[in-house]
Amino acid sequence: MSGEPIIPTQTVEMDIGSPIADMTGAPILDELGRNINDLSWVNVTHDVRAIDPISIRRGNFGNTPQDRVANIGTLKLSLDNSAGNSAGVVGYYSPDNINHMPEFVDGTRIRVAFTYSGKKRYKFQGRVRLRSPESGKWGTLKVPITAEDWMAEAANTPMRGLTVQVNQRDDQLINTLLGIMDHPPERTDFSTGPDTYALAFHNELGESTMVAAVLQKIALSGMGGIFQVGDDTSGEILRYRNRNDIGALSTPVAVVNNSMVNLQAARDYRKQIKKVIVTVHPSQVGAANTTVLFTLQDQITIPAGGQASFTCNYKDPNGNRRTSAKDQITPVAGTDFNFSSSSGTGSDLNGSLQFVSFAPAADQADVVVQNNSGVTGYLWFFQLRGRGIYRYDPLSVILINPDASTGITLTYDMPYQNIYDEAVAIATALMTFWQTLATDVIQLEFIANRSTTLMDAFLDVEPGTLISVVEDVTGINNLFYANGVDITSYQQATKVKVIFSLVPAKLVKFFVLDSDGLDTPGAVLGY
């Protein structure tokens, strides 16, 4: 009926599970008399305080060519900690209260969905990171919580243990990264990468480089986009789109036509692009796999029957700096190690040294050895050999905009690209996109409840999707990618404020590198 309020149903769920029942229907209890629950999602909307807004922030809120991977997404809301909650007890959501919910633990999964006119969309899914119960029995009796989406897992997981990848695409590299995650995303949706990299993961430090940083390098190298998105069944879908698929988008998911609360736009003539620098990284691969990558600097004493574990960081023998390698050789007695009953000399215990594990990775190897002799042994000599990979001489392509008397330099680094001709193509594309000064449309804001069109825009737009923006006063009428999505839901979604962070979508022709037709007039690489 016309004039009816446009209010979506807001649902908050946590994976605290439901009681498992026996054959009689009675709940099965643990040794402390508590229900044993399954791992199902449970609706906890009734315990979310309506007076406090729900805030969701997802995607990437930059608008430069380098902003290609989602930042850590966050959810903020408050839970009812009073006797009016579903359990009827004060302190139910306080982690240290005797009455606390035992299933509500650190890292509990949580998700938020909105449904309107039969259309349901999950707008957040992640894990609870912070619980901040407010004190005082006469106080607010609430527990503000902050949850983070899967991108936080990527930002806090080191890429330790991965080997150098040879002749792999973007999508294959991402799948390799997900293989080391304790908590991989619930689902994935990947394009096929447009390029095959001769080498990848060869410039990372296993102990300190995080998965999120490598995702950024993958996206930069192939000019793709990596975002966490949702649909009607999940809010934890890791999506990768290659540059050609991104560029080929022409039909907007939503149209915001003079119905926004605010459109932030600005034109700064000093931001015109004067110079573009694109850098690729050819690597030198050793001719043989006999290069010494690591040498033990001090002996290791191992008691009879004991073990020793250590990590070997590879070094470039020509410069003594960290490097990577492949085709590592399992250590050979007498050649790569000597184990002796005498300190600093001899090899009489070589046959008693067992390699419990030898795990060579891209830039280091984890080693566990065991002394199977009946006496104390000394590992006084140990080395690792392999085929070194050296990043000595990056190549940069520099293009100048002849029409700009002043301006800034756009620097774009492609860590896994190694071919100069591809750098030329990328630099040409970037210059084509950015050499003409244009109004910078940074973000738009609207209230989703004002029309069904805006409600559909709120529900349908996910980070990285294409939208159309029309605003007559500023004269803006163009297509944009909504790289970032910021949602604030007030009073059980009776008012939903939405902010899209925008990146311009350039309508140009596209080509795939290393394919026929690169010399087609006007052909430009898709951004």
Report yes or no: 444 and 255 within 8 Å, Cβ to Cβ.
Answer: no
Report the alpha-carbon distance of residue 263 to residue 272 in Å, rounded: 21
What pTM value is reported for the model?
Answer: 0.90
Report the alpha-carbon distance of residue 175 to residue 194 in Å, rounded: 15
Domain assignment present for residue 384? The answer is yes
Tally Cβ neighbours within 10 Å of residue 370: 18
DSSP 188-252: EEEPPPS--EEEESTT--TTT-BHHHHHHHHHHHHT-EEEEE--SS-S-EEEEE-HHHHHH--S-
Position 1 scores a pLDDT of: 43
Domain assignment present for residue 306? The answer is yes
> How many Å is the Cα radius of gyration of the chain?
28
Report the alpha-carbon distance of residue 174 to residue 171 in Å, rounded: 5
Position 2 scores a pLDDT of: 56
Paired tokens of 321? 């700096």
Position 512 scores a pLDDT of: 43
Paired tokens of 411? 């620097």
* Residue 113, strand partner residues: 11, 122
The domain spanning residue 330 has which CATH number? 2.60.120
Report the alpha-carbon distance of residue 319 to residue 156 in Å, rounded: 31
Domain assignment present for residue 385? The answer is yes
Per-residue pLDDT of the chain (527 residues; tens, 9 = 90+): 457 899 999 999 999 977 777 777 777 777 666 666 667 899 999 999 999 999 999 999 998 899 999 999 999 999 999 999 999 999 999 999 999 999 999 999 999 999 999 999 999 999 999 999 999 888 899 999 999 999 999 999 999 899 999 999 999 999 999 999 999 999 999 999 999 999 999 989 888 999 999 999 999 999 999 999 999 999 999 999 999 999 888 899 999 999 999 999 999 888 889 999 999 999 999 999 999 999 999 999 999 999 999 999 999 988 778 999 999 999 999 999 999 999 999 999 999 999 999 999 999 999 999 999 999 999 999 999 999 999 888 999 999 998 888 889 999 999 999 999 999 999 998 998 888 888 889 999 999 999 999 999 999 999 999 999 999 999 999 999 999 999 999 999 999 999 999 999 864 334 444 444 344 444 444 44
What does residue 455 show for φ and ψ, rounded to 5 degrees? -65, -40
Domain assignment present for residue 520? The answer is no
Domain assignment present for residue 506? The answer is no
| Cα 311–chain centre separation | 27
Pick left, alpha or beta for residue 259 (phi over 0 → left; psi -120 to 50 → alpha; otherwise beta).
Answer: alpha
Range of the domain at 376: 285-390
Query: How many domains does the chain divide into?
Result: 1
Position 406 scores a pLDDT of: 82
Position 419 scores a pLDDT of: 92
DSSP 353-382: EEEEEEEE-SSEEEEEEEE-SSS-EEEEEE
Position 248 scores a pLDDT of: 87
Domain assignment present for residue 252? The answer is no
Domain assignment present for residue 241? The answer is no
Position 392 scores a pLDDT of: 80
Domain assignment present for residue 300? The answer is yes
Q: In 3D, which of 255, 265, 254, 257 has the Cα closest to residue 471?
A: 257
Position 35 scores a pLDDT of: 65
Please tell me what DSSP assigns to residue 38: -
Report the alpha-carbon distance of residue 399 to residue 395 in Å, rounded: 13
Report the alpha-carbon distance of residue 346 to residue 260 in Å, rounded: 80
